[in-house]
Amino acid sequence: GAGVSQTPSNKVTEKGKYVELRCDPISGHTALYWYRQSLGQGPEFLIYFQGTGAADDSGLPNDRFFAVRPEGSVSTLKIQRTERGDSAVYLCASSLTGPTGELFFGEGSRLTVL
Amino acid sequence: AQSVTQPDIHITVSEGASLELRCNYSYGATPYLFWYVQSPGQGLQLLLKYFSGDTLVQGIKGFEAEFKRSQSSFNLRKPSVHWSDAAEYFCAVGADNQGGKLIFGQGTELSVKP
């Protein structure tokens, strides 16, 4: 597709459940980012991939959060044992040149933990 | 600690009036500075960025921003606002020694009166 695609657009789950959020970046973009945006706040950095490897995962809040990008394209953000505080919009972005270039954002996956 | 402050949570301007959105940052390294816009149902879109050189940068949709190192500011301006400019605006900061991480402000919501 032309832009960054994220699925699902909405996910409602129960506390304690496991969730996967998928990001399909713009073709050819080697850099991929995950951000989390809570209501009324700006996006908060989670993790950055350059190719298949996580170049910077300093924003992951704890070990319940994990992200992979096995083939250097699609990425999956995985959240184990979800908590109500995980409720947010999870944004994915991709870039051709890395952090100094333009980030192209998807529309996000809205996660609600009941 | 690095931080970005957008002092105005919500601003209302009349169509055709000028606009200035404020952004202040606290950063130890030489910063990269960005302004993004987020419209309902759409992903964040880059308006403009500053890395070095001329401190007045031009962006898309008629926006400009000026980097003032002495004031640690990067305010966004537009001489004449259009109704379609109503959206949420985010200032963001990055740096060479921060890997892929951009730090975003909490955003300023712009409303445009007819």
Q: Angle at the Cα of A1 (from A65 to B40), degrees rounded to 5?
A: 65
Cβ–Cβ of A44/B106 closer than 8 Å?
A: no
Q: Give residue-wise pLDDT tens across range B15-66.
A: 999 999 999 999 877 788 999 999 987 889 999 999 888 899 999 999 999 9
| pLDDT reading at A1 higher than 60 | no
Measured distance CA(B74)–CA(B57) in Å, rounded: 10
Measured distance CA(B30)–CA(B1) in Å, rounded: 14
| pLDDT reading at B98 higher than 70 | no
Q: What is the mean pLDDT of residues A17-23?
A: 98
Please check whether residue A59 is in contact with residue A37, taking contact to mean a CB–CB distance below 8 angstroms.
no
Q: Which two tokens stand for residue B75?
A: 């305010």
Q: Which two tokens stand for residue A63?
A: 């070990």
Q: Which two tokens stand for residue A3?
A: 């832009």
Q: Give residue-wise pLDDT tens across range A35-45.
A: 999 998 999 99
Chain A residues whose CB is inside 8 A of the B47 CB are none
Beta bridge partner(s), residue B77: B20, B64
Q: Give residue A96's pLDDT.
A: 86
Most distant pair of Cα atoms in chain A: their distance:
38
Cβ–Cβ of B99/A55 closer than 8 Å?
A: yes
Q: Give residue B42's pLDDT.
A: 84
Residue B31 DSSP code: P
pLDDT class of B10 with cuts at 50, 70, 90? very high
Through-space distance between the first and last CA atoms of chain B, rounded to whole angstroms: 41
Q: Which parts of B10-107 are beta strand (E)?
A: 10-14, 19-21, 24-26, 32-38, 45-50, 56-58, 64-68, 73-78, 87-94, 103-104
Q: Which two tokens stand for residue A90?
A: 């999870």
Q: What is the mean pLDDT of residues A1-20?
A: 94
Q: Give residue A73's pLDDT.
A: 94
Q: What is the mean pLDDT of residues B106-112?
A: 97
Q: Give residue B2's pLDDT.
A: 81
Q: What is the mean pLDDT of chain B?
A: 92
Omega prior to A25 cis, within 30 of 0: no
Cβ–Cβ of B94/A100 closer than 8 Å?
A: yes
Contact of A113 with chain B, judged by CB distance below 8 Å, is answered with no
Q: What is the mean pLDDT of residues B79-105?
A: 88
Contact of A83 with chain B, judged by CB distance below 8 Å, is answered with no
* Chain B residue nearest residue A39, CA to CA: B106
Sheet holding A65-68, edge to edge: A5-7, A19-24, A75-79, A65-68
Measured distance CA(B19)–CA(B16) in Å, rounded: 9
Distances (CA, A) of A88 to A10, A42, B91: 10, 11, 20
Q: Give residue B100's pLDDT.
A: 67
A109 CB neighbour count, 10 Å cutoff: 22
Q: Give residue-wise pLDDT tens across range A56-111.
A: 999 999 999 999 999 999 999 999 999 999 999 999 999 987 767 788 999 999 99
Q: What is the mean pLDDT of chain A?
A: 94
State the smallest CA–CA distance between residue B15 and chain A in angstroms. 25
3-state secondary structure of B85: helix
Contact of A25 with chain B, judged by CB distance below 8 Å, is answered with no
Q: Give residue A80's pLDDT.
A: 98
Q: What is the mean pLDDT of residues A8-32?
A: 96
Cβ–Cβ of B100/A45 closer than 8 Å?
A: yes
Q: Which two tokens stand for residue A76?
A: 């999956």
